[in-house]
Amino acid sequence: MYVVKLNYVNYLSISLQTQSHLIIITLIFILVKAVFQNSQILRKKFSLHYFLLIEHTFIMRLTNFFTYLLSFFFFALPMCGCRKMYYGAQNSMQENSSSTLESPDYAETESSPNSPPAPILPAENTPFWNMDDVDVSRISPTRKLIAFSFDDAPSRTLENIIAVYAAFNESNPDCPAYATVFCNSGRFDAQTPHLLTTCLAMGMELGNHTHSHFDLTTLNEADLLDEINKTDELLYEIDGKTRHLLRAPFGKANDFVEETAPTPLINWTIDTLDWSGVSEDAIYRAVYENRFSGAIVLMHDGYRHTVDALKRLLPDLKADGYQVVSVSQLAKAHGCTLRRGSTYIRARKQN
């Protein structure tokens, strides 16, 4: 839907055209009315007294209707229109434009003076993932590292996940925990900026999980990039980064998806299957019994058992000599290069 602003001349032109048509129609009906009122010849010739009487009454009522309608357009509507045009003219003078066509996505949303400009996504993507701004200052060089990732954010338990991390980090300043939160921008609502900004403040990484969670292997190039770009653009407003690590929905990516995606793709080593309704203990065991340094763990936002298992995993992994980190922190700390056109399931330490 588009909003069209018309100036006084355009409005007046439309009104006069409409009134001219109504005048012609009304004159025609008045003429027909006169014929039926005064013509006795038709009545005698066809002997259709009853039929003509009905027609006569119908024509009179229809003529009166158009007469009232014409009066409305001549008097009432122009008076309302003048009031509308007065305020419209003021707005037009302020905008220095007499006729504009605007999209509601931009016309109805005023940008804050302090808001960042819209991202200019690079037309040509660099082959390597830039990790210069990835903070590893609080990553212990002596601990084994394991990356936690949460898909389908933001969902109903993201606030709980944040609370678990906040409580753990407050009690363990020597070994803070981090994560990568892969976001579906189709889930964003009014609370999203606050939640994701809190994630950033805690040192977490925001990742791209597409807009609609479609199987990327079924899309053409334009639709695939649209799914990725929509999320990157919304995340840019939160973290200021034009591109984010991509996790394909369902982990499905073929050669075409890898070649088309503007950033490296991240899958996983350990799948908790938390989305399937498994218990807290099953999620805990899936991670703890299969842990190794360099592993990437897949969990999901939206499941209470995931939150409960997380409360146990963070302290137990620390006790076993691990530190939980984000995907980019894991790659940087282990000296692993992430390359566009590739899918990664782990990041083992490079000697």
Instruction: Determine the Cα–Cα distance for residues 327 and 151; give it in Å rounded to an integer.
Output: 13
- Statement to judge: residues 152 and 102 lie in one domain: no
- When divided into structural domains, the chain yields a total of 2
The residues of the chain scoring below 70 in pLDDT are 1-125, 351
Specify the pLDDT at position 51.
Answer: 41
- Per residue in 32-83, pLDDT tens? 555 555 544 444 444 444 444 444 455 556 556 655 565 555 555 444 443 3
Residues 11, 70, single domain; the answer is yes
Q: What is the pLDDT of residues 231-262, one digit of tens each?
A: 999 999 999 999 999 999 999 999 999 999 99
Q: Are residues 85 and 233 in the same domain?
A: no
Query: Domain range for residue 148?
Result: 144-344
User: Which pLDDT score is estimated for 165?
Assistant: 98
- 127 within some domain: no
Same domain for 86 and 214?
Answer: no
Q: Kindly state whether residue 328 falls inside one of the protein's structural domains.
A: yes
The rounded distance, in Å, linking the Cα atoms of 228 and 148 is 22
- Claim to verify: residue 71 and residue 154 sit in the same structural domain: no
User: Given this model, what pLDDT does residue 168 score?
Assistant: 98
Q: Does 117 reside within a domain?
A: no
Identity of the residue numbered 159: E
- Between the CA of residue 289 and those of 53, 227, 279, 316, what are the distances in Å? 96, 35, 15, 12
Whole-angstrom distance, CA of residue 328 vs CA of residue 14? 61
Residue 52 has a pLDDT of 43
Extract the tokens encoding 159: 């606030």
Q: Which CATH number do you get for residue 331?
A: 3.20.20.370
Looking at the fold, whether 182 and 317 belong to one and the same domain comes out as yes
The C-alpha angle with vertex 270 and arms to 265 and 275, in degrees rounded to 5, equals 90
Q: Is residue 265 within 8 Å of residue 246, measured between CB atoms?
A: yes
Please check whether residues 102 and 155 belong to one and the same domain: no
pLDDT score at 350: 85
Residue 249 within any structural domain of the chain: yes
User: Domain end: 78, 107, 136, which one?
Assistant: 107
Cβ-Cβ contacts under 8 Å for 315 (sequence gap 6 or more) = 168, 172
Please give the model's pTM, rounded to 2 decimal places: 0.67
Rounded Cα–Cα distance for residues 224 and 241 (Å): 20
248-274 b/e (C-beta count within 10 Å ≥ 16 → b): bbeeebeeebbebbbbbbbbbbbbbeb
